[in-house]
Amino acid sequence: MSRRLHINVNILNAGVFGGSWRFPDTDGTASYRIEHYTSIAKKAEEAKLDAVFLADGPSLDPSVRHRTGNNLEPTTVLARIAAQTERIGLIGTLSSSYNDPIELARRLGDLDYVSGGRFGWNVVTTAGPVAARNFGRTGELDHALRYRRAAEFTTRVVAGWARRTEFASPQGRPVVVQAGGSSDGRRLASRVGEVIFSADQDLDHARAFRTEIRNGAVTFGRRPEEVVILPGLSTVVGSTEAEARARRELLDQILPDAYARNRLAGQLGISLDGLSDDEPIPAGLLVDPDEAGGSQTFYRVVKAIIDREKPTLGQLLKKLSGGGGHRIVVGTPEQIADDIETWFRAGAADGFNVMPDVLPSGFDDFADHVIPELQRRGLFRTEYEGTTLRDHLGLGLPAVPDEAYERRPLDAVR
Amino acid sequence: MSTIIQLAVGEPSGQRADGPALVSIADAGAIAAVAEEVGVAAIRLVDGSASGRTLDPTVVGAYLAGLHGGVGYVAEVPTTCNAPYNAARRVLSLDRATGGRIGVALRAGEGDEVSQATGPEPGATDPTRRWTEYARVLTRLWESFPREALIGDQKAGIVAEDALIKPIDHEGSFYRVAGPLDGPSSVQGRPVVVADLHALGALDATAVAESADVVVVDRERAAGADAALTEALWHVGRSREDVALLGRVEVALDDPAAAAALGDELRAWADEHRLNGFELVPTGGTEAVVTALRTLAPRLADVGAVSSPPTLRAALGLREVAAVLT
């Protein structure tokens, strides 16, 4: 069979754009109710997507005054979706820094069993001091230590799943998803990641990233086909190009300005106070990405835009639109399908983690119009061929990765 | 009288156990449908059983509530291996998803790896003191983002009135937790906290008085439980009406005709010890649980009781919405 796309929908509360919750005819607080998530998951299953994806962090985003945040714990949401669907894969984000490995291995393994082998665990190390303070710390853990713990934690959890004799998973064990693009994150991806959720603006860079991860996997004794790379893709769909552009314009207009500035300042680790929209970003204040704290992935993406395009603050805010740095495509279903096909055929992606502009309307448009276009081109399935997430992703059950006990016992978050 | 029924969900061994047996996840779905139909307050999902390993109760509760949302679910969660912020978030998420039908039976135990690394008093290990502090953190976190704060004013560009959302800044012997939680409180105010006073357990009425909404006593501990609880509640400024006292009983109903006599006996027992209801523990597997639900549970309900209470609190005879903590 020819190579096929893999497509997840990232149910990022009200949508990836900062103003999504204010979009006309959108219920502004729908993302605080469970039906928002279950109904999008049912729609995703009708569209034969690989999985729904839930981002998460154990904290309240301080920007809650101006934008909706993730607000329901993923394992409870996914267990409910499992009860109300049959095939769609279920990927949830859970922190390796702020969970106990024994409890997490058991809970996630049980969710996998209850869902009939549809679960995938997106391992994140959880950046930032806000989450740290909910677990007894005063500030975030050092980046390298976070990733060293993540490697140990993840390999230990996977080994635990592999040893299970009760509640055996129909897919062998849950799929490990990894989303960090820093040097430490890429090493973790090569070691244990089976699906990589990446962030890339540029096709050549994305192709190099995919090659690096696949080659890295080989150095850990894995086969390159055991890794599925899905960049994030923010979509703005219109029935005509003009309609799509108008939708994008409107999303800029309704983006709460205070939110956009605060988010960018947080990502860059510098103050933007006193900087007007028509002034350039003071690039001299920005450190090398490997030196940055917080999320290096998004720092790297945004810094690259600044270095390349030298935008004013206003231009940069508009380009990101409160979305953080994932690539945005704006156009008709055919144009978006063209873009997806180009990246796929160029070897820059195995598919995409789709982040609709506004939920649910942006995903309805994607599922109703872009997916059928991809199916017409023979790039996407028209029926599920299996029942588990591994089946959908074309992943077999590879050998258990070596446990990464560089230090014993497991480094706690001190 | 309100009734909770205990259920251990796992992989049935096939052997007939003396005590409560494991039921499969598929059978648990069928049992939940019956529980919903006969109108018990909740299904209590046990964590670990003498018959074998159980599935994670929060996962099972979320799954079953997605199939049968008309009955409450009480998930057993131990302090062991669970940082309180994570447990609080998971249980509140469930409570919000079910429209206020969730309780947590918090089990006394040890700590978790993440919290222990930063515990304010590294030498603190007493499970009773830990339980009290843990329950306090849960209840405070559950109200840290009040429902009223979520306004979603699209015109003004304000999602939440963040001045109403407050950190709890807890610093105790076992935990240091800033908060607030990331989502609003549920329609029943807070999830229900269930505390077990086992004969050999770590908890007594004093330890649970501040935070428990439901106290469950074993048969041999029922005598005097009401008086001890009343006094303990008085010391923390609460009244006996704020808490449901349930008596836990194993029931073996081989003959459905025996249900009438057992029902009368249990009601008399409850009256004698001023219990507000029961936690039924059917011995045997799926069939035993269904028999208990169909034949015994209706005999324990009060005549004229509200047929579909809006929240788990209401189903337990408590205030429909929890009073805000001070």
pLDDT in tens, B13-58: 866 556 778 999 999 999 999 999 999 999 999 998 888 899 999 9
Percentage of residues in chain B having pLDDT higher than 90: 86
Interface test with B, best of A29, A60, A77 (most B CBs within 10 A): A60
- Closest chain A residue to the Cα of B64, Cα to Cα: A83
Residues A53 and A184 in one domain: yes
Closest CA to B185 of B272, B89, B48: B89
Residues A136 and A95 in one domain: yes
Chain B residues close to A114, C-beta within 8 Å: 25, 55, 59-60, 63
Residues A124 and A94 in one domain: yes
Chain A residues close to B176, C-beta within 8 Å: 136
- Given this model, what pLDDT does residue A283 score? 78
Choose the closest CB to B181 out of A60, A68, A414: A60
Structure confidence at residue A102 as a pLDDT band (50, 70, 90): very high
A17, part of any domain = yes
Distance, in Å, from the CA atom of A169 to the CA atom of A165, rounded to the nearest integer, reads 10
The DSSP annotation for A83-118 comes to: HH-SS-EEEEEEESSSS-HHHHHHHHHHHHHHTTS-
pTM: 0.95
Residues A307 and A363 in one domain: no
A96, part of any domain = yes
- Given this model, what pLDDT does residue B13 score? 80
Query: What are the distances in angstroms from CA B182 to CA A71, A287, B88, B90, B168?
Result: 5, 31, 11, 11, 13
Residues A141 and A277 in one domain: no
Residues A132 and A270 in one domain: no
> Does pLDDT of A405 surpass 70?
no
Residues A260 and A234 in one domain: no
Q: Is A384 on the interface with B (CB under 8 A)?
A: no
Percentage of residues in chain A having pLDDT higher than 70: 96
Question: Which range, of A168-172, B102-106, B284-288, B305-309, averages the lowest pLDDT?
Answer: B305-309
Average pLDDT, chain B: 94
Instruction: Specify the number of domains making up chain A.
Output: 2
Looking at A296, A320, A344, which one is the last position of a domain? Answer: A320
Mean pLDDT, rounded, for A78-103: 97
- Given this model, what pLDDT does residue A300 score? 84
Domain that holds residue A236: 6-240+324-393
Residues A347 and A315 in one domain: no
A413, part of any domain = no
> Does pLDDT of A269 surpass 70?
yes
Buried b (16+ CB within 10 A) or exposed e, A97-121: bbbbbebbbbbbbbbbbbbbbbbbb
Mean pLDDT, rounded, for A333-351: 98
A407, part of any domain = no
What pLDDT, in 10s, does the model give residues A135-162?
999 998 888 999 999 999 999 999 999 9
Residues A357 and A219 in one domain: yes
A93 is in an annotated binding site: yes
> Does pLDDT of A26 surpass 90?
yes
- Given this model, what pLDDT does residue A414 score? 47
The CATH number for A84's domain is 3.20.20.30
Q: How far is A201 from chain B (nearest CA, A)?
A: 29
A414, part of any domain = no
Closest CA to A34 of B155, B73, B184, B104: B184
**More confident of the two residues B304 and A196:** A196
> Does pLDDT of B186 surpass 70?
yes
- Given this model, what pLDDT does residue B286 score? 94
Q: Which domains does chain B have, with CATH numbers?
A: 2-315 (3.20.20.30)
Chain A residues close to B52, C-beta within 8 Å: 166
What pLDDT, in 10s, does the model give residues A107-117?
999 999 999 99
Q: Please provide the size of chain B in residues.
A: 326
A76, part of any domain = yes
Residues A279 and A343 in one domain: no
A399, part of any domain = no
Choose the closest CB to B178 out of A29, A102, A134: A134
Hey, how many other C-beta atoms are within 10 angstroms of the C-beta on A246? 14
- Given this model, what pLDDT does residue A8 score? 98
Q: Is A80 on the interface with B (CB under 8 A)?
A: yes
> Does pLDDT of B197 surpass 80?
yes
Residues A285 and A200 in one domain: no
A246, part of any domain = no
Residues A110 and A18 in one domain: yes
What pLDDT, in 10s, does the model give residues B220-233?
899 999 999 999 99
